[in-house]
Each structure stands twice: as C-alpha cells, then as structure tokens.
Chain A
Amino acid sequence: MRLDKLVFIFIAVSLLSCKKDKEEDPIVSNNLSNGMVVLCEGLFQQNNSSLSWVDLSSGAVQNSFFLNKTGRLLGDTGNDLQKYGSKIYIVVNVSSTIEVLSASNFESIKQIEMTNGQVSKQPRSMAFANGKVFVSCYDGYVDVIDTTSLTVTNRIQVGQNPEGVTYANGNIYVANSGGLNFPNVDSTLSVIDVNSEIELMKITVGPNPGAVIADAFGDVYVISRGNYGTIPSRLKRINTATNTMDETFNFDVNGISKMNNNFLIHDGTSVSIFNPNTESIENSNLVNTSGVTTLYHIQYSASRDRIYLLDAMNYTSLGFVRVFNSDGSYVSSYEVGLNPSKIIFYD
C-alpha cells in the first residue's frame, strides 16, 4: 500500500505542468499622426514580416499594424518601405510582392505580384521618378511600375542581383551586388535613363555594391560592401554629370541615410555625420551606441530633428528603435518587430 502511494505521488509529480495564456497585441490608437510606421523584415521562410506603429505621444506600439489594417499578413521578408505621393509602397522580397496602401489610413489599394511566369522576381528596393516606381529585382532586372495603373509596364535588364536604387539627375542608379554569386560578386552600378527606360551604361564601383543614395548636389554615393572580411566596405562617389566614379572614401561604412544636406553613416558600431559638400566626416562619434546590440539601419527625421537607430538585436529576437537627439543624446527606445529596417514618419 505504501509503495502504491509512493508510485502515484511520483506520477503526480511527473505530470506537473503549467499552461501559458496567449499574449495579446496592445490596442493603441490608429490615428496616423505623431507616430512612425516601422517595416520589420522578419526572417526568411517565417512569413513574419510586419509593420509596427509607434505612437510617439503615448509610446504605445502596435506590432500587428499591417494585419490590423488589412486583415492579412504582410508576407515573407519585407525589404523596402517608402511613401510616394498619396501612396505607401512596400517591397516584400520572398513573397515577391509589392504592397500598395493609402498613405493616409494604410488601407490596402493593391498587391502587385512580382512573378515572371513560375519564377519569383524577388523585388528588393525602390526609387521613384516621373510617376513611376523603379523596383530592383534579384533576377537581374529593374521593373517599372506605373503609379496610376499599378501595373508593371517594363522590365529593364541590369547586372547581377540588383539591390539599392536611387534617382538623380534624370537617371536611375542601380547597385548590382551579385550577392548570389558570392564570393564572385558583381561590382557595377547600372545607369538607367528615366525617360527612355534603357540602361545607358554600367559604372564599376567596387565589389558587392549595396545601398545607393543621392545628395543635394547632384552626386550619387554607393556602398561597396566588399567580402565582409578581407575586402572592407567603402563609400564611393559617382559624378552624375559624367557618370564616373570620382572618389573612394577610406573609412568603413555599413549604412547611410540622409540628414538634411548631410548623410548619417555607420560602420556597425559608430554613427557619424558625413558632409558631401566638404566630403569629410564632421562628427565621427555622434551617438553613443553602447546600448545598441546590432545596428541594422539608421534614419533621421528632419521634422523632429532626431536620429533613429534600428537595432536588430541577434536577428532572431524582437528589434528596437533607439531614438537620439541630433546632438547624440539618448531619448527613448521602442520594441518593435523582428529586424526593423525602414521608417516612415507621421507628424
């Protein structure tokens, strides 16, 4: 009898368990003012790309913002988020879609499928000019989308695995990374005439070009990312009048963003201001990034005069938007979705 009791006590201990209730997404006001929409890329094959709405007055964060607005999920690996005219455009790379939404209320206008027959085009990033969206696609093309009909009107062949794209001086500049041929990467920048939608030339800029950005003085800057090891990442300047690469800057750079007429740049650990007019770094350690785990992207809001560092943590945990004043002093942090990469601000 004693043994029987002992046995059943043993089993009861074995079966001790706990139940965890589901956590609910906090309900916050959907009034699109005084806040920011953050694109969180998610992780490959997880279908968990998302938008976070951060209410800057209350500090509340709604991490299912896209779902709550559209009733559906964003998809897999959102790579770019931009506003053009009255619309918001989101590039979703692995789902191979472009989501078009109303900029005023984020209601869905259209989802553009980016497939070529049975093959995904894998769109990557966007630039806008002349009422058109120029979308770099990993299959080696730039797709042209008419912003009125929201249909693909042309495909322009460029280099291998194009990524960053920007508009300057009547042309679209596309960084051909060749990332899928690593370590035998591409090293060119395609120049596309906006009107004729024809590739004019390729400029050799250095291995594995990624981000491309135009300054206020007619030049284009591209980051050649090297091989993540022995070949360092470098910032290159392109003269858009001659379409030649005029200068290489000998400092490490991982990311770049506009800050009024200057650029904010970072090398993964430190944030600096680069003045394209003087072509020099003006403040090499603007922000104390000791509280940032993985500096993934960087952005500046002119209307708020604040710097936003997007912290990807360990890439598999929820990310943070870290907010700093333009003098580099820390303001606040917001926990958002997985791998935050782009912000649109609402004043």
Chain B
Amino acid sequence: MLASPLFSISQQDSIQEVQSVLIQRPVLKIKPLRLSRSSFYGDQIQQFGTQDAGELISKLAGSNLKSYGGLGGLKTISVRSLGGEQNSTIIDGFVQSNSQNGQINFAQIQSDNIIGIHLSIGDASSYLLPVSSQMAGSTINIQTFENTFGYEKFEVRSSLKMGSFGQKEGYIALKSSKKKLLLSCFGKLRSAIGDYPYQFQNGLSIIDSKRTNNGYQDAYFGITTGYKFKKSLVRLGYKGSVIDQELPGAAILYNSTADELLKTNDHSFFSDVNFDKNDIYYRAFSNFSANRLNYKDPSFFNNIGGIDVTYINNVARAGLSFASYKVKKLTFHGGFEMSYAQLESSDSTFSKPNRLLSQVLGGLDFKTTIGVIKGDISFVYSLEDTKFGQRADDVYKLQPFLSFQTKNFSKKHLNFKFWYRNSIRLPSFNELYYNNIGNNGLRPEIANQYNVGLEFVPIEKDLDVFIRTNLFYNQVIDKIMSVPTKNLFVWSTQNIQNVEIYGSELSITSSLRKGYFTYSALINYSYQKVLDNTPSSLTYKDQLAYSPEHTISNEVGVEYKKSGVRLSHSYVSYRYALNQNVEQNRIDGYHLFDVALFYNLPLKEKNELKLQLNIKNILDTPYAYIRSFVMPQRSFIISLNYAFR
C-alpha cells in the first residue's frame, strides 16, 4: 500500500506520515526514497550490528559522525555540517534534549530496539511531531519496538551478544498490542572491559599501544502502556538508564595515564494522546526528563584532591500539534510547544540557569496540478534566568520555511523539490554560564538552508533502482564556538564566525529478488565545502575543522533462503583538526569495511532465531574521527537474536 505509487503526494500519504509516529510500519519489500529524507528499517538495522544509534545514523546520507572513542565514548552528529545543536532528535514522537550542552550523545541511545530511523533535512517528517522538531534544521526520528502499536497479539524481541574487548550485552523486550491495549517493557544490560589496542603514527614509525580506562556498565529499562479508543489513541510510559563509564580521554603521546569517570542517570516519563475529528488530526504530548551526570577526575591537581562534580538537568515539555485535511488541496498544520529546563550543579561557581522556551508554528500545504507548495512560519521565544550571576538576554525570532515539490514528471517517477529553511539554535547552558568559558552575551546561531533535489526510478521491474540527489547551500551566521581568548588555557565561547556550506548528496538504492536470492545495495555519497566566511578571520575561506569534503557510505547485501551476508563500506576523506588548512592540521582520510554474516535457524512458525556475526573494520585500519581519539581496529560481535511474533 505504501509502496504504490511510490512518490505520489496524496492525502493518504500525509495521514500515514501522521500515524507513523505511533504505529509500527509493515515491513516492505522496497523502501521508498523521500526527498530530504533517508531511512533504515527493521532487519536492515539489525544486520548492521551497530553498537548504538550514533553508528546507525552515520550511515544515513547527509550525516557526519564525531566519535570521541570507540566503546561508550561521546558520539555527536552534525547534518550537512550545521552542528549537532541545529538538529532535533525525536524518539517515538518525543523530543530528546540536553539543555546543559545542547547536544545529544548518540552513544547513549541503544539501537537494538530501533525499528525505523529517519533523517529529514529541511522538511518535517510528520506534522504531528513536536513543533520544535519541525522548526529545526534537520530531524532524526527514531521509532522503537516498545513504544509503537504493532500488529501481533504478543511479540518478543531479544538478543545476546558477545564481542571483542569484553563486550557483553543482553536485551529483551515484550510487547502485546494486537487489540486495543498496548503493554510493553524492555531491559538491557551491557558491559565491556573496553581496553582496545590501537596503532598510532608517531613520526616515521607506527607505535602499538592500548587504550585503557575505557570500560562501561550500562542498564536501560522502560515500560509503556497505551490504548486505542475509537477515534483516539493514548500512550503513557517511562524509560530510564544508568550508565557507569570510564573515560579514556585523548591518546596522548608518551602518556597513557587515564582515570576519569562519568556516571549518567536518565529518567524520562512521557505521555501523548492522538485523536482526529472532522479530518483534523491532533496530538497532545508531555514529557519530563531528569538527567544526573557525575564527573570525576581523581588526578586533577587542585587542593581538594580532584574533581567530583554533579550536574542535574531537568526538562519538562508539553505541546499540541495538528494537521487538517478538511479542505481539498489544502492542508493546514501547526501547533505549539513549551518547555522549561533547569540546571543545578554541585559546582558553586555555576550560575544555575533555567530557561522557559515557547515555540509556535503554523503552516499550509497547497496542492496544484504540478506539485505541492508548502510553507510555514514559526516563532520562538526564550526567557532566560539564573539563580545568581548575570543572565543571558531573552531571544525571540521568526523562522520561515518554503518548499515546492513536483508531482511525478514521467513514468520514471521523476520529482524535483526546492526548499528554503531558516532555523536558529540557542546557546546551551554550558556555552552561556560554564565558569570562565561561558559567555552570557552570546547571540543565537542562525542557519539559512537552500536545497534543490530530484529523485527518480530509472528501473522498476525485477530490479528496482531509486536515485536521489540534492544540491544545497547553507549559511550559518554567528556560529557559536569555543576559542582561546586570554591564553592557551583560558577559553571562552564566542559568536566567532559566519560559515558558508555548499555541497551535494547522491543516494542510490537498488534491490533484486530472483528465486531464493535477494540482493540489495545502497550508495550514499556526500560532497561538502564548509568554509569560514568571516572576512576578518585568520582562516577566511578555509574548510572548517572536522569537515571532510567527501563522505561515502555503501552497503551491499545478499540473502539466500535463510542466510545472508552484508558488506558495509564507509569512507571519510581528509579533513583538518583545526580551522587553518595547513599540513600540520591535516588528518588523513580512511576507508572502513564491515562484514555481517547471518543465518536464520529453523524454528516453528512465529519464532525467529538468528545467529549473526559482525566483523568491524575487517582490514584492521587505524583511524580516528577526532585527532588523538583513536578508534578500535578490527573487532567482532557475535549475536543471537530471538523474536516471537
């Protein structure tokens, strides 16, 4: 139903987009491409054998992963080089946020339970998502097994994993949702010793060393209930995590000492109600999250014998979104959202800030004979306060969005799309108030994105081929960065630069089913110039740090009856560790190859048991996303996945 016609723009599609927040999609043979959107689903996600959501997102076109460590270390994502803070991350329809540092650590979002993941750039992936995500520069939308209504009376999803560096994982989720009642729960434990060997180019020689103080012990858990009424649907749930990890820090030449520790506790309560009346769909939601972070550095040479600091970040959020299909050819949508965030700290010098954020959005889709014109206007108002110290200025800003997407031009489903989005990102609490680094005079960072793209289906028979390409141009005004100001050791956050980004993306997916064979392939290529566009800057027109010009992510999979193999390749071209484009700052590019082998063991109907072996970095390539933060070389994970449907 969803696949035919693949690219038509109809009211039905819009409603399905609306419902996708809540209801598990049926598994499709062919996954449709969407302009401005990349997706992975179901088995494909499982076959990747990713350790967390960060690794998974890095395979989506347009994303760029920054990983500060191979196991459990910080992972952030930037989309089209706009910076992680310009991105909104949604899990099951609820915004994930961290007002302390403004970025989501994707290493702390598990991937075992993900049944769908989408990266939308420019365009909102659903009008029933919180309006803050519809206003963002891009959105990562994750659907989990536990929190979506399914099609089976009772389902089980579980896995046991063991891997290199002492990695052990156990995950189980139970769900009942055939009838009106949804009941689900899940739990996951994982641990690792984490010490992994690495090679490091030290001048003319390669040194072998081991990354230490890299272990972790995590627990994730949650429970959800929901109910389908005649014309409405309600969900209520809780999820939490306790993460206890060692921090290996950077790999420093001649110095392997490391003893920093980080403990993170997250508790999140969420609820929403969805209903429709007279062809108007509504979603009201609320969620509350409490994040407690404790950082210890026992060998920091202060007079109290080290650092032991705790931060508590609470965020409450509520909102309403709606989409009206009452008028033929017109879709009205909009909503509002309010959030209150506060940060407490055991650090007496921290200002203990809070922020009341209000966001409103209204938009209109108009269907013409040749395509759809979409536009919206949103308003953000941020009210800042602190318990002591000077507070930052309030922020209020209008943000427009405009797009035009054609209907199919030919039998090859050719579509063009043009869009423009203006978005802002507010400075985080750390950027505004953190000791000497914070700067309460910061202005919001503004991004203007322009995009033109096309998609088409050159072949559509036994062999299906989909092609999508985008050209984009982005401007970032008042980019927020931390830079040394008084000396090497006194850094401060500044609105330092204007940035100009232009580039292109190409995605090709293909699939072929012949007899017992199923073949699938995916090619993602991205080219980006990310230039310092501040004439007074010392690095004017230089490519910004950690912005590779070329990134490639390729996947090839072959399945025969109950077994299959998948080869993944990724390439990140050379980039610079600092903004100045000189040889001293250059970091070489790298190719990575991963292999997954899997076999579905024969079991009775409704039972699925899959044995899977993932070999990562099979060529044992030494590499690092961030200079000095060396990544693991060849490693393996063997997993046993059981599902009951």
* Chain B residue nearest to A77 in the complex (CB): B488
Contact pick for A3, options B250, B409, B578, CB 8 Å: B409
A111 touches B254 (CB 8 A): yes
On whether A72 and B469 interact (CB within 8 A), knowing A17-B527, A94-B255, A180-B302, the answer reads no
B586 touches A22 (CB 8 A): yes
A313 touches B538 (CB 8 A): yes
A14 touches B469 (CB 8 A): yes
Check A71 for interface membership: any CB of B closer than 8 A. yes
A313→B436 CA distance, assembly (Å): 21
- Within A1-51, the residues touching B (CB, 8 Å) are 3-4, 7, 10-11, 13-18, 20, 22-25, 41, 43-48, 50
B254 touches A113 (CB 8 A): yes
On whether A318 and B584 interact (CB within 8 A), knowing A47-B252, A120-B299, the answer reads yes
Which residues of the other chain, B, contact A244 by a CB distance below 8 angstroms?
none
Instruction: Determine the interface band of chain B, counting residues with CB < 8 A from chain A.
Output: 35 or more
A251→B203 CA distance, assembly (Å): 45
A95 touches B584 (CB 8 A): no
Check A285 for interface membership: any CB of B closer than 8 A. no
Contact pick for B255, options A7, A72, A115, A228, CB 8 Å: A115
A317 touches B253 (CB 8 A): no
Which residues of the other chain, B, contact A338 by a CB distance below 8 angstroms?
578, 584
A70→B454 CA distance, assembly (Å): 54
**Min distance, Cβ A48 to any Cβ of chain B, angstroms:** 6
Which residues of the other chain, B, contact A95 by a CB distance below 8 angstroms?
252-255
A119 touches B299 (CB 8 A): yes
A95→B254 CA distance, assembly (Å): 6
* Chain B residue nearest to A97 in the complex (CB): B254
* 1/0 contact string of A71-104 vs chain B (CB within 8 Å): 1110111000000000000001011110000000
- Within A180-212, the residues touching B (CB, 8 Å) are 180-184
A75 touches B253 (CB 8 A): yes
On whether A14 and B253 interact (CB within 8 A), knowing A72-B202, A181-B303, the answer reads no
- Within A308-338, the residues touching B (CB, 8 Å) are 312-318, 337-338
* Chain A residue nearest to B490 in the complex (CB): A228
A73 touches B488 (CB 8 A): no
Check A146 for interface membership: any CB of B closer than 8 A. no
* Chain A residue nearest to B580 in the complex (CB): A317
B538 touches A14 (CB 8 A): no
Number of interface residues of A (CB under 8 A): 70
A315 touches B484 (CB 8 A): yes
A22 touches B484 (CB 8 A): no
- Within B552-597, the residues touching A (CB, 8 Å) are 574, 577-580, 582-586
**Min distance, Cβ A62 to any Cβ of chain B, angstroms:** 12
On whether A50 and B584 interact (CB within 8 A), knowing A95-B255, A180-B300, A181-B302, the answer reads yes
**Min distance, Cβ B454 to any Cβ of chain A, angstroms:** 6
A316 touches B580 (CB 8 A): yes
Contact pick for A94, options B252, B302, B412, B506, CB 8 Å: B252
Which residues of the other chain, A, contact B471 by a CB distance below 8 angstroms?
10, 13-14
On whether A25 and B583 interact (CB within 8 A), knowing A14-B527, A67-B203, the answer reads yes
Which residues of the other chain, A, contact B251 by a CB distance below 8 angstroms?
47
* 1/0 contact string of B346-384 vs chain A (CB within 8 Å): 000100000000000000000000000000000000000
Check A179 for interface membership: any CB of B closer than 8 A. yes
Check B246 for interface membership: any CB of A closer than 8 A. no
Check B24 for interface membership: any CB of A closer than 8 A. no
Which residues of the other chain, B, contact A73 by a CB distance below 8 angstroms?
202-203, 253
Check A299 for interface membership: any CB of B closer than 8 A. no
A18→B550 CA distance, assembly (Å): 10
B483 touches A315 (CB 8 A): yes
B627 touches A3 (CB 8 A): no
Check A267 for interface membership: any CB of B closer than 8 A. no
A47 touches B299 (CB 8 A): no
Check B257 for interface membership: any CB of A closer than 8 A. yes
Give the residue among A18, A47, A138, A139 with the most B Cβ atoms within 10 A: A47
Which residues of the other chain, B, contact A315 by a CB distance below 8 angstroms?
483-484, 487-488
A118 touches B628 (CB 8 A): no
Contact pick for B506, options A11, A24, A92, A97, CB 8 Å: A11
A317→B627 CA distance, assembly (Å): 16
B302 touches A316 (CB 8 A): no
* Chain B residue nearest to A254 in the complex (CB): B487
Which residues of the other chain, A, contact B486 by a CB distance below 8 angstroms?
228
A20→B202 CA distance, assembly (Å): 23
Contact pick for A7, options B202, B454, B627, CB 8 Å: B454
A318→B582 CA distance, assembly (Å): 9
Check B539 for interface membership: any CB of A closer than 8 A. yes
A185→B122 CA distance, assembly (Å): 49
Contact pick for A316, options B257, B299, B579, CB 8 Å: B579
* Chain A residue nearest to B470 in the complex (CB): A14
**Min distance, Cβ A273 to any Cβ of chain B, angstroms:** 23
A180→B586 CA distance, assembly (Å): 32
A14 touches B483 (CB 8 A): no
**Min distance, Cβ B119 to any Cβ of chain A, angstroms:** 18
Which residues of the other chain, B, contact A48 by a CB distance below 8 angstroms?
577, 584-585
Check B1 for interface membership: any CB of A closer than 8 A. no
**Min distance, Cβ B205 to any Cβ of chain A, angstroms:** 7
* 1/0 contact string of B402-424 vs chain A (CB within 8 Å): 00000001101010000000000
* 1/0 contact string of A271-313 vs chain B (CB within 8 Å): 0000000000000000000000100100000000000000011
Which residues of the other chain, A, contact B302 by a CB distance below 8 angstroms?
160, 180-181
Check A164 for interface membership: any CB of B closer than 8 A. no
Check B336 for interface membership: any CB of A closer than 8 A. no
B436 touches A182 (CB 8 A): yes
**Min distance, Cβ B294 to any Cβ of chain A, angstroms:** 20
A160 touches B303 (CB 8 A): yes
- Within B613-637, the residues touching A (CB, 8 Å) are 627-628
Which residues of the other chain, B, contact A122 by a CB distance below 8 angstroms?
301
Which residues of the other chain, A, contact B252 by a CB distance below 8 angstroms?
45, 47, 75-76, 94-95
Check B123 for interface membership: any CB of A closer than 8 A. no
B255 touches A120 (CB 8 A): yes
Which residues of the other chain, B, contact A293 by a CB distance below 8 angstroms?
538
Check B456 for interface membership: any CB of A closer than 8 A. yes
Contact pick for B253, options A47, A178, A181, A182, CB 8 Å: A47
A317→B249 CA distance, assembly (Å): 24
A117→B463 CA distance, assembly (Å): 63
Check A161 for interface membership: any CB of B closer than 8 A. yes
Give the residue among A15, A111, A184 with the most B Cβ atoms within 10 A: A15
Which residues of the other chain, B, contact A46 by a CB distance below 8 angstroms?
577-578, 627-628
A314→B483 CA distance, assembly (Å): 8
- Within A209-259, the residues touching B (CB, 8 Å) are 228
- Within B254-305, the residues touching A (CB, 8 Å) are 254-255, 257, 259, 299-303
Which residues of the other chain, B, contact A171 by a CB distance below 8 angstroms?
none
On whether A71 and B205 interact (CB within 8 A), knowing A46-B577, A317-B538, A318-B584, the answer reads yes
A63 touches B255 (CB 8 A): no
A18→B502 CA distance, assembly (Å): 13
Which residues of the other chain, A, contact B456 by a CB distance below 8 angstroms?
7
Check B549 for interface membership: any CB of A closer than 8 A. yes
Which residues of the other chain, A, contact B577 by a CB distance below 8 angstroms?
46, 48
A95→B628 CA distance, assembly (Å): 12
Check B204 for interface membership: any CB of A closer than 8 A. yes
| Extra inter-chain contacts (20) besides given A13-B504, A45-B252, A318-B582, CB under 8 Å | A7-B454, A14-B471, A14-B504, A22-B586, A45-B249, A46-B627, A47-B252, A67-B203, A70-B203, A71-B203, A73-B253, A95-B255, A96-B255, A140-B301, A228-B490, A296-B487, A316-B580, A318-B580, A338-B584, A339-B488
Which 10 A-B pairs give the minimum distances between C-beta atoms?
A: A14-B504, A315-B484, A45-B250, A72-B203, A23-B583, A71-B204, A95-B254, A75-B253, A317-B580, A317-B538
Q: List 28 A-B contacts (CB under 8 A).
A: A3-B414, A4-B458, A7-B456, A15-B527, A17-B527, A20-B574, A23-B583, A24-B583, A41-B488, A45-B252, A45-B628, A46-B577, A46-B578, A46-B627, A48-B585, A63-B584, A75-B253, A76-B255, A95-B253, A95-B254, A97-B254, A115-B257, A120-B255, A120-B299, A178-B303, A181-B302, A228-B436, A316-B580
